[in-house]
Structure 1
Amino acid sequence: MTDTDGTGVGAGAPQGAVEPARLHQLFEGRRLTPTQRRIAHCLVRQTAAAPFLSSVELAQLAGVSQPSVTRFAVALGFDGYPALRRHLRDVAPAGPTVDARPANPYQQAVRAEIHHLLQLASLLADAGPVERAGRLLAASRPLPVLGLRASAAQARGFAYFAAKVHPDVRLLDEGGSRLADRIDMAKNAGASALMCFALPRHPAELLAALDHARATGLTVVTIADGTFAPVAAHSDLLLPAAVGTDLVFDTVSAPMLLGQVLLEAMCDALPDAQARLEEFDTRAAARGLFVD
């Protein structure tokens, strides 16, 4: 699933690195332990070096023990870590390595975000999951949008734009004992799906809320920081987008863009989306809402 931007550089990863889509395929459908998810996350972040890391080096990068790396490889269906590394080398395209020019920490963070966006572009080569998610969200009346703590801003932005084309969007950005009540109210009002943003760190009450939503019959669509995120087992359709960890606080360019892509897919599934947008623009002009 390689996408090329016309410059001769693959959109999924630097040439010579493992395509992130191939790594995600290794993890899909696997019930990984928290330690194994940590190793998987490390491999995704180290796509250029992944085919050449020893088990000891990978363990040090991931902050786990060397036996944990071996158990991780076995959990993915390989005889051991050497077999996993051979597989990574087999699927890594030949070519020059990533630009190794010196960079200050701020530049490194920006470059990491660019890499995450390229990973997202590679994953979106298969548009099926996003298109399916768009149809599910468009059909849900009302549409609850859930995001707690660090994810609240993403949920709030998605709900703001979704409300311009969807007739009934309900933002759930606060936890507490009333969260389950609000999910129940949405379900009783006719909701069939719930949109969730789940970015690190993942609140325990978020997992409980997703379990409750699914128990009521809602289909949970989640944008998370990877297919191995803790919310994976609590979601019906998970859309991964990596977060940056090079700065004090995580950077979320890829999840933010994926949210906008999902909004586009939802608009495509709403036959009256364009009419609603034009109606809003007419009202906004009449009220003088904007200066431009």
Structure 2
Amino acid sequence: MASPSARLQRLFEGRRLTPTQRRIAHSLVRRAAEAPFLSSVELAELAGVSQPSVTRFAVALGFDGYPALRRYLRESAPAGAEADEGAPLGEYQQAVQAEIANLRRLAALLAEPAPVVRAARLLAGSRPLPVLGLRAAAAQASGFSYFAAKVHPDVRPLTEGGSMLRDRLDASVRAGAGALLCFALPRHPVEVVGALEHARSAGLRIVTVADSAFAPVAHPDDLLLPADVGTGLSFDTACGPMLLGRVLLEAMCDELPDAQARLEEFDASAAERGLFAE
């Protein structure tokens, strides 16, 4: 049975939504379980938009108004599942269980690996390969870049914003880059949106690992790979995007003919230098 967020994703697929409408869709996906019970005022506050924007969003989906959309969500929701047996979970356990559910959804998405393979082929063929991630996503970009550099000849992490970011993007383009990988997590920095716009105008193909296909960074010309983040704690958890990044790396290794030789060379060098404790 499809999860509430998966059912919402299907409702929004193929729609040409405005940036404001994508924010509303993204908010519904993140709160999928309670979406059928949100008033238009509550949804507007959740998405940070006006109430009329919520009405226009519902009309854009083909409904007469928001009440019709909410009625559809209630009617399409499955009957309530039986409560789990045993003692109720604590707050921290609930956060872990929610993240496990996120990973299950990611596993279901990866049943169709074609988008990941297509993204890996783009990234493996880019020389150099810029990897963008600011603020909360900087750790994802850094981790990916650390491992990617072991199999890709020229990886350039872009984890700091400011006036130099566009210069570094331009330098990558001048050096021959054909694609850019972006990790984008909430809250989405405006600077990332601007950097991606500049990258597109410079001719780079964009692969984005984001928390939703309706995130503010989404663009119809890009290849977006979604992975949910956990929202049950004060600070979001990003096990899904991290794991999706590793899957993307694995697919890149299949596209780089000398990847295994590079890894073996590194292992031999590491052993010779005594880099790691036994």
Q: What TM-score results when the alignment is normalised by the length of structure 2? A: 0.86
* AA in 2 matched with 1:27: F
Aligned to 2:134: 148
Distance 1:284 1:253 in 2: 28
Aligned to 1:53: 37
The RMSD of aligned alpha carbons is: 2.7
Distance 1:54 1:202 in 2: 23
Distance 1:170 1:60 in 2: 39
1:147-166 counterparts in 2 under 5 A?
A: 147-166=133-152
* AA in 1 matched with 2:273: R
Flag the 1:161–1:167 CA change in 2: closer, same or farther, 3 A.
Answer: same
Distance 1:210 1:53 in 2: 35
* AA in 1 matched with 2:116: V
Aligned to 2:9: 24
Distance 1:93 1:127 in 2: 28
Match of 1:258 among 229, 232, 244: 244
Query: How far 1:161 sits from its partner (Å)?
Result: 0.6
Give unmatched runs, 5+ long, in structure 1: 1-9
Give unmatched runs, 5+ long, in structure 2: none
Aligned to 2:190: 204
How big is each residue's C-alpha offset from its partner over 1:168-221, in whole Å with a ceiling of 9 and x where there is no partner? 111111111111111111111111000111112222222221111111111011
Q: Helix, strand or coil: the match of 2:267?
A: helix
Match of 2:227 among 241, 259, 266: 241
1:77-92 counterparts in 2 under 5 A?
A: 77-81=62-66, 83-85=68-70, 87-88=72-73
Flag the 1:199–1:46 CA change in 2: closer, same or farther, 3 A.
Answer: closer
Distance 1:49 1:206 in 2: 30
Contact map agreement 2:129 2:177 (CA 8 A) in 1: yes
* AA in 1 matched with 2:97: R
1:213-232 counterparts in 2 under 5 A?
A: 213-232=199-218
Q: Helix, strand or coil: the match of 1:233?
A: coil
Aligned to 1:76: 61
Distance 1:136 1:170 in 2: 15
Identical pairs, percent: 67
Flag the 1:202–1:187 CA change in 2: closer, same or farther, 3 A.
Answer: same
* AA in 1 matched with 2:8: L
Aligned to 1:4: none
Query: How far 1:30 sits from its partner (Å)?
Result: 2.8
Distance 2:41 2:167 in 1: 48
Flag the 1:182–1:165 CA change in 2: closer, same or farther, 3 A.
Answer: same
Q: Helix, strand or coil: the match of 2:236?
A: coil
Question: In the comparison of the two structures, how many residue pairs are matched?
Answer: 275
Aligned to 1:194: 180
Aligned to 1:41: 26
Aligned to 2:101: 115
Aligned to 1:267: 253
* AA in 1 matched with 2:167: D
* AA in 1 matched with 2:222: D
* AA in 1 matched with 2:46: A
Match of 1:127 among 93, 113, 119: 113
Distance 1:187 1:200 in 2: 27
How big is each residue's C-alpha offset from its partner over 1:104-155, in whole Å with a ceiling of 9 and x where there is no partner? 2212221221222122222222222111111100110110111111111110
Flag the 1:197–1:54 CA change in 2: closer, same or farther, 3 A.
Answer: closer
